[in-house]
Structure 1
Amino acid sequence: MEYYKRTWILCLMIVAALMGLHFLPRMEIFGMELRRVDLLSDLFPDTPDVSEKELAEAMKQQRPHPAHRKTNDCPKGMVCIEDYATDEKRSMDVFYRRLMELNTRKKPVRIAYFGDSFIEGDIFTADLRDLLQSRFGGAGVGFVDMASQTAGFRQTVRAYSQNVESHSVMDSVHKNAFLGINCRYFFPLGGQVSLTLKGTGYGKNTQKAQKSQLFLKTEVPLQVTAEVNDGQQQTFDLKGADRIQCLTTTGAISQVKWSFYADSLARRRVVLYGATMDNEQGVVVDNFSLRGSGGGVLLSIPDENLKQFFDYRPYNLIVLHYGLNVVGPGSGKKAADNYGRILDRMIRKFQALQPGTPILVVSVSDRNSRDKDGKITTIGGIRYLVNEQQQAAVRNGVAFWNLFEAMGGTASIKRMAEQKPALANKDYTHLNFRGGKVLAEKLYEALVNAVKNYTKENQYED
């Protein structure tokens, strides 16, 4: 009996000690503030590490004047796209017009979606693509790298590569001169080299496509074979050329295999980029994700390489969606301001290379970590970064969509991670496919709302 009594007394003492630690004030040693260890933090409501009121006041003077943006009619509860274009030829109206003309122009409407690990494995973009294709037409997954770390969990395509050596702009040994639009390039290792793409049952539009293209550069003669659905074959005899080449095969494609034999001459003299599966008409969404990137690496792609890609595959909308790798715990306005200057250069690079193509900046999503009190809440730098991304859109006359606000603002990623079933991972940074679908629907709704507004305003042109 005495044993149980001592056990209860010990438990009460531990609880009392933990309660005491929770209420201890912040302490400093030699001017340095010690981080509080609060083992009871999950029992108390979260508080943001930066005061919402203070931040709003600090950012108030920086917000764009309403006269400088175009949002059209925005339904209550929807976060709409804000277009800051000063030149109608670069405005989002150009993109909306192309969507409305799909039935008559018989050409695809292509979206290049650049981002970081938030869209890795086609999370978010998979459902955005499926929603747009279901409404406006189109099929297929779009561009796929010659080899990919995410091939194992990407649900929109089954991709199998053989005998290729991978390089990306994030590698310490890469060479910028070889970089493609995907910030990657691949060398043949020798022997039979191949990439097989196979449609899946994800969504309504990934099973089949009408066209597949292979992008590569070869300095030596090369014979490439495209095999469709384990049957129909097409052979391409290439001459050496100092530019990117694009090979095209068509049909009712549920699977395509691109292959060639690489001898010793081909190594380092053949550069591979990737292949596509899409339709001759409808919406195409190419996912260009790069883990660990803030987007500034896009500046490393040679302009000539991008021009050659755009010659074969011109885009009607370019989306720049970065930020998770730009700010971290302790980051503030300075980090956001520095990034703003990089974002300016990224936007201007694409404006120069695709002058008639609208650009949409999508804000960073919510990202959480434990603050000094042990609470899980939004990293303070996130709010400054969202504001700076919007300011960059204003400065450069492009469009902006506030994903941070659309997903619920402060601590929204935490709420998504704690839902049953979970919509985000417990790193409080990344979505899963369920969460990607939820947020893709929000951007899709904003785009459809903008298209409806454009149609109303321009009926006289029909």
Structure 2
Amino acid sequence: MKNYLRYAFGLALLVVLMTVGLNYIPENAVRAVGLKPVDILADLNRGNTVGELDQLVGETEAGRRPEGGEYVARSVSEPDTVASAEGDSTRAVSTIFVEPEPEPEETGRTATDTTRALFDTTLPGVPAPADTTAAEERAGVTTTQTTQPTQGVIPIADYSSDGKMLRNFMEKLDRTRNMRRPVRIGFMGDSFIEGDLLTSDFRELMQTRYGGGGVGFVPITSQVAGFRQTVGHKFGKWKQSSIVNNKSGAYTISAFRYTPSEDSYVEYKGSSNKKHLDRFKRARLLFISKGQSVVRATVNGEREFLLNTEPSEALQEMTIDEDIRTIRYSVNDVEGFTAYGVFLENPTGVCVDNFSVRGNPGTVMGRINPTLTSQFGSLSPYDLIILQYGLNVVSSQVTDYSTYRKQMAGVVEHIKRCFPGVAILVMSVGDRATRDNGAFVTMPGIRAMVSTQEEVAKECGVLFWNTYDAMRAAGGMGTFVKNGWAAKDYTHISARGGKKIATALYDAFQAAGK
């Protein structure tokens, strides 16, 4: 038999040479024959620089049409991933329907640029913005400057009617040690903060500066209990329901509710992963008991507490004040019993509660029950609510989010009614990259979403902080991935990336207090 093995090496060499050669075919020549250019060696190419990010967003903001024409969102339905009712899996669904749009008219600067100009802050590696006075006059927007310009700090814009929302919150922080309750911050978001990413470092910074301890709100069950490092969390035999995939039922800003069986339990343990979390002074279980149930709590594996519930349609709490390192709950006579979560906290200082819901676009939070949420707020008074959404809505080719803007404005107004007088901060999406001819560049829809979210903040008269600018000041998503600050999906941050953003947000609040 003839031996063809020697030809294999020649064939392999030929394939390599052809692969490299294809990479040098001019892009215009590829498009001329109706093909889409592909960089076969894309994984060997570098990511984007800050300058490249600026060039891309500059083209997007100027209204230039990408290849294939501009697209506009026709409707926004469900998020990209939806947690199952049992909390064990996710399923992919369609998020955005797109359709071609005619050539757009020339537009002015985005709202994001307006904010940067108002505070005249120059970021490292980011060109200084132009004057926006005329644009403000055309938009009829009056902005009160509450943050003094600080080099390298992404400021918080205050769009409240009197321009004092941010200042009033900072005054509460300054009085924290003299208050009889904690200053409470509720962080509502999606998988960007899942597992206490970002919020854990923000909490640590706040508690180190203003006092307090404990991880705050923790759900009864969690898909990321093994991943989350800020609390030990074990549970079993609970049925979970989420506002994302269940439109009926009473939900509050935690977005989940849980029903037990006779064998259900949940156990929490303090963590040494961050400061101030290894023990806590107070534990509060929030629940509704329409029947007569018995709640058993065991503290530190020794002391046992029993609560015989009284039938009620209202939200109740079981509060235990002890030096707590671990606590375990179980419920007997479970008919009519619904749990909403547990607060592990100190009675004073600062509490930062993480309400992350995987796949949540934010729009579903308009379905939170006003009565239940009012009761929730009475038991746990909030001083600031941060809304971090948009990751599950933004799309590569969609640059018009007018439908989403209308929906989210309704959500913000609904939350304002549920928590009257509470400061609200809209936190924009961060950077998200997509591959373009071998290089990772910012997804065009990101900048449009940031602008949309700032317009929501303006319309509703609340606070706004630009996460995208904070990431871009640190080099953008390409740098985040390169440094291990973000996952290689160029979308989700890592623990170290969360710390970078948390520090930037904390610095923004500190600058506001000067």
**Same-fold status (TM-score > 0.5):** yes
Question: 3-state DSSP class of the match of 1:305?
Answer: helix
For residues 411 and 35 of structure 1, the distance between their equivalents in structure 2, rounded to whole angstroms, comes to 29
1:79-114 Cα shifts (integer Å, max 9, x gaps): 1111111136x6111211111111222321000100
Tell me how far apart the structure 2 counterparts of residues 238 and 220 of structure 1 sit (CA, whole Å): 8
Deviation of 1:328 (Å): 1.6
Match of 2:423, as an amino acid? P
What secondary structure sits across from 1:276 in the alignment? strand
Note closer, same or farther for the CA distance 1:34–1:70 as it changes in structure 2 (3 Å cut).
farther
What one-letter code is carried by the residue in structure 1 that aligns with 2:59?
E
Give, as a single letter, the amino acid of the residue that structure 1 aligns with 2:148: D
Deviations, residues 389-422 of structure 1 (Å, cap 9, x unaligned) = 1111111111111110011169712211112xx1
Q: In structure 2, which of residues 294, 297, 300 is the aligned counterpart of residue 226 of structure 1?
A: 297
Ranges of 4+ aligned residues in structure 1 off by more than 4 Å: 2-9, 44-50
Give the distance between the partners of 2:390 and 2:416, measured in 1 at CA. Answer: 20
Residue in structure 2 matched with residue 349 of structure 1 by the alignment: 414
- 2:420 and 2:109 map into 1 onto residues whose CA distance is 31
Equivalence map 1:421-432=2 (5 Å): 422-432=484-494
Contact 2:47–2:478 (Cα < 8 Å) also in 1 = no
Q: Map of 1:52-63 to 2, 5 A cutoff?
A: 52-58=57-63, 60-63=108-111
Which structure 1 residue ranges, 5 or more long, are not aligned? Answer: 454-462
Task: Name which of 393, 396, 401 aligns with 2:457.
Answer: 393
After superposition, where does 1:12-411 map in structure 2 within 5 Å?
13-21=17-25, 23=27, 25-27=29-31, 34-41=35-42, 42-43=44-45, 46=48, 51-58=56-63, 60-63=108-111, 64=114, 66=118, 68-87=143-162, 91-171=165-245, 174-188=246-260, 190-262=261-333, 266=335, 269-332=336-399, 334=400, 336-371=401-436, 373-408=437-472
What letter is aligned with 2:511? N
Indicate conservation of the 8 Å contact 1:132/1:444, yes or no: yes
Gaps of 5+ in 2: 1-5, 64-106, 119-141
**Structure 1 residues 77 and 26: alpha-carbon distance in aligned structure 2, compared to 1, 3 A threshold:** farther
**Contact 1:36–1:374 (8 Å) recurs in 2:** no
C-alpha distance in 2, partners of 1:142/1:313?
Answer: 11
1:54 and 1:250, CA in 2 relative to 1: closer, same or farther beyond 3 A? same
Preserved contact between residue 366 and residue 409 of structure 1 (Cα < 8 Å): no
RMSD across aligned positions (CA)? 2.5
384-393 vs 66-75, which moves further: 66-75
In the alignment, the residues of structure 1 paired with residue 424 and residue 473 of structure 2 have an alpha-carbon distance, to the nearest angstrom, of 24
2:481 to 417, 441, 448: 417
Query: CA offset at residue 27 of structure 1?
Result: 2.9
> Quick one: distance in 2 between partners of 1:192 and 1:12?
61
TM-score normalised by L of structure 1 = 0.88
Following TM superposition, by how much is the alpha carbon of 1:351 offset from its aligned partner in structure 2, in angstroms? 1.4
Percent identity of the aligned residues? 31
TM-score normalised by length of structure 2: 0.79
Query: Per-residue CA shift, 1:284-317, capped at 9, x if unaligned?
Result: 0000001111111111111111111011011000
Task: Compute the displacement of 1:4 (Å).
Answer: 10
Shift of 1:157: 0.3
1:68 and 1:156, CA in 2 relative to 1: closer, same or farther beyond 3 A? same
Q: Write the distance in 1 (CA, Å) between the matches of 2:485 and 2:235.
A: 31
State the Cα distance separating 1:376 from its structure 2 match: 1.8
Cα distance 1:238–1:11, how it changes in 2: closer, same or farther (>3 A)?
Answer: closer
Q: Is the 8 A contact 1:377 1:411 kept in 2?
A: no
Q: Determine the C-alpha separation between the residues in 1 that align with 2:16 and 2:241.
A: 58
Q: Could you report, residue by residue, the CA deviation over 1:103-132 in whole angstroms, capped at 9, with x for unpaired residues? A: 222321000100110000000000000110
- More displaced, 243-252 or 408-417? 408-417
Cα distance change of structure 1 residues 228 and 325 upon mapping to structure 2, 3 Å threshold = same
Q: Deviations over 1:158-200 (max 9, x none)?
A: 11112211111223xx353232321111111x22322211101
